[in-house]
Structure 1
């Protein structure tokens, strides 16, 4: 076995898809008997839509959800007014997706799971991992029943309470984002239109929201409760809460599908790699749900790690390439934690800051900018979409390969080449990584092959 992935959430499933299309033998291990049943992480940011486009699931994700509605504020049983949830970000040729999608997490995971199976990947349910170990030749996970399983690498995508992170002794520093208890639930509600995200605030700072979940018949209930309150996650408790905060009656909450409580916090693991074990998703960073950064940052962990594991396991790249996973993603996660905390506290607006299109790796050791006076897109930046000779760039990028823009023919073996880059890129030649970022840029294609050789690819 090449890779064991612990956790069948969005992170583990996305990584499984990326490895499967690279011919890497991977097994996803999930403690539960089935996929996660709740709506929890429902926002799919534009950058993650680009990732899903590459992984071959964007059409299904779009069909599973829909756009965010405006927020309707209520006071004393009356509508006060509506406001957009997000600042508008203009779409252009380079960024075709600029609006977040609302997709219930359980639906996102169903789509990813179906794609993983389509590619020949596997998930083993009912497998509770309690620890991990490693030696010079590989790593192993230990199960609750006393058995173990080995692979060349292990990826811990087992959530904020990661058993693997704890077994490795990796610390996770964090802070409370809000002292109040929160709860979230998927409910059926009558007497409330589905055209708005309905919000019912009180003067003491507590609030209940009821958001129609796109692609389902449910509403997601979110609540910020008084400090010291113990959330009641039963149907009766949720009926009482809705009746206390809204104009609806208890009987208007007709069903409870799923519920959970939490206290918002921001936390970052001290390390994302310990030898042959790597941490991804909530196992590596925990966000406030405000701003929709957690699931998206996690999926992009998987997208960064997938091509690097594939290069090491199938293309002969040195194991040290995996060090750049921690280098790139830990810095990115730290920035996203600051952002999500800022959104939670009302210091940052949802919009251009939260769509994640401006994230990049200019400071990475993998990034080489060799042009004397770069203009436009630089090495380390996200590679924008566009069209070259009638070919859409995102179509050219799709798949587990590198792409060279601005070099006629195939000057680098195994790399797809297009004769030019869009004008928006500026002058130069651009070598685009499998995860859609420019790894190398130069005035000509000279040096692109040497760059890949240095990576061992």
Structure 2
């Protein structure tokens, strides 16, 4: 645990850093979060919130605000060169179930994601980091204001050009494809309906995409690099369209990289500081938020062996996700007919798991569908749901059809007997079973012996 003089320094106030700040807040861990930019980010950038990330937001108490602000992805309206049009969806619409109450991707402009995450978080804008020095316990941090402080831990969530990563000397392995570029901009347009994501294809790829951004009057424009000014580029596909405003603009180049280390001493890397992706498939922002979700509760314990599991769990996930987004990117580059299709269930990130990892303790000789290391699914549970029981910063002991003694609940461990047949079915439980669900709502320990739970709780500092 932390003394009164100790705190965690978060560098970078994007979605990853802000999620981590919220996690530390609810665990009662002191922190500072600094952001070298003088003002909050204003662009749409990563706009897709995947189902698993929506479950994280539910746990943080933010899902209502995000769903009120965002919207489902609209249907594509593809304007063909002969003047006709065709409609298609990027991915099928899935009906919510108790196991997966948020099964579809939610569109929220990144600036809005940051704004919602930042509510109540004391971000220090216009403050960058210039120096790091590892101490026997803690890190000496030099800020560009001239201030020098000692933090117990430092987390670099400062993006693909991460100063923290560079100061650590951690290589950013991968490649940059200079010829594979994309222009992205937030624009306002007269004469274009907002019910569809409009796409104008070219012979081998596409000329222009205009996606309506919920809660705004803007469209997110995507196009190959062009010498034409944005208003002329838009009117070149349809002279009836008039651009009335051009806001945030960025030129993306295919930069596909990741680190081989997530921890160096008392410094950690997360989000784009640890892995950068093609925007294809909407994986980067989501993976960063889930880095923070994994790391936050572990930092709150201050247990060194537990902190080592952050890299062991998240590095393989990032590698897998990087492979998925890269394959989708290659479809765009190669001009595949199905380049816009997003029907791979892995993109929803509900199947990501830590099976076989250092915190996955499966003690049953014949485990069911849900095993140690898996995401804890939702399910009806009397007058509530399993998600209701899990919500909050605590770990949760789910005692399925258990008649024996149980430990007393504490502020760090909730304890619930579960007898609802629908919940037993959702978790694949047919005999009395104990499952210890971690604070990030993955099953940590699954067993039929209370001694296993007691040992696991000790490991987690519960």
Deviations 1:293-324 (A, max 9, x none): 00000000000001101122xxxxx2121110
Mapping for residues 376-387 of structure 1, pairs under 5 Å = 376-387=369-380
Aligned residue among 241, 244, 249 for 1:254? 244
Report if the CA contact (8 A) 2:80-2:86 is conserved.
no
Aligned residue among 326, 349, 360 for 1:341? 326
Aligned to 1:315: none
Given the superposition, is the C-alpha separation of residues 303 and 40 from structure 1 closer, same or farther in structure 2, using an over 3 Å criterion?
A: same
Q: How far 1:35 sits from its partner (Å)?
A: 1.2
Q: TM-score, normalised by structure 2?
A: 0.90
Separation (CA, whole Å) in 2 of partners of 1:48 and 1:224: 29
Aligned to 1:305: 295
Separation (CA, whole Å) in 1 of partners of 2:439 and 2:84: 48
Report if the CA contact (8 A) 2:364-2:448 is conserved.
yes
Deviations 1:109-130 (A, max 9, x none): 111111xx1xxx4210110223
Secondary structure of residue in 2 paired with 1:453: helix
Q: How far 1:380 sits from its partner (Å)?
A: 0.4
Q: How far 1:183 sits from its partner (Å)?
A: 1.1
5+ long unaligned stretches in structure 2: 1-5, 332-337
Report if the CA contact (8 A) 2:199-2:206 is conserved.
no
Aligned to 1:8: 13
Aligned to 1:228: none
Report if the CA contact (8 A) 1:411-1:445 is conserved.
no
Secondary structure of residue in 2 paired with 1:180: strand
Report if the CA contact (8 A) 1:64-1:108 is conserved.
no
Q: How far 1:136 sits from its partner (Å)?
A: 1.1
Report if the CA contact (8 A) 1:142-1:149 is conserved.
yes
Q: How far 1:108 sits from its partner (Å)?
A: 0.8
Mapping for residues 415-430 of structure 1, pairs under 5 Å = 415-420=413-418, 421-427=423-429, 428-430=433-435
Deviations 1:118-174 (A, max 9, x none): xxx421011022332221121133223443232100000000000110011000111
Separation (CA, whole Å) in 2 of partners of 1:248 and 1:363: 57
Report if the CA contact (8 A) 2:368-2:428 is conserved.
yes
Q: How many residues align?
A: 437
Report if the CA contact (8 A) 1:26-1:122 is conserved.
no
Q: Which runs of 4+ in 1 moved over 6 A?
A: none
Aligned to 1:398: 391
Report if the CA contact (8 A) 2:46-2:279 is conserved.
yes
Separation (CA, whole Å) in 2 of partners of 1:79 and 1:110: 40
Separation (CA, whole Å) in 1 of partners of 2:358 and 2:92: 34
Aligned to 2:173: 173
Report if the CA contact (8 A) 1:5-1:156 is conserved.
yes
Aligned to 2:189: 189
Separation (CA, whole Å) in 2 of partners of 1:183 and 1:140: 39
Separation (CA, whole Å) in 2 of partners of 1:438 and 1:31: 37
Aligned to 1:78: 83
Report if the CA contact (8 A) 1:412-1:448 is conserved.
no
Q: How far 1:85 sits from its partner (Å)?
A: 1.6
2:267 matches 1:277 = yes
Secondary structure of residue in 1 paired with 2:451: coil
Deviations 1:40-72 (A, max 9, x none): 010000000000000111111111111110111
Separation (CA, whole Å) in 1 of partners of 2:381 and 2:251: 49
RMSD: 1.8
Secondary structure of residue in 1 paired with 2:347: coil
Aligned to 1:242: 234
Q: Which moved more, 1:155-164 or 1:421-430?
A: 421-430
Q: How far 1:77 sits from its partner (Å)?
A: 7.0
Report if the CA contact (8 A) 1:388-1:418 is conserved.
no
Q: Which moved more, 1:65-74 or 1:77-86?
A: 77-86
5+ long unaligned stretches in structure 1: 226-230, 313-317
Aligned to 1:289: 279
Secondary structure of residue in 2 paired with 1:303: helix
Aligned to 1:350: 342
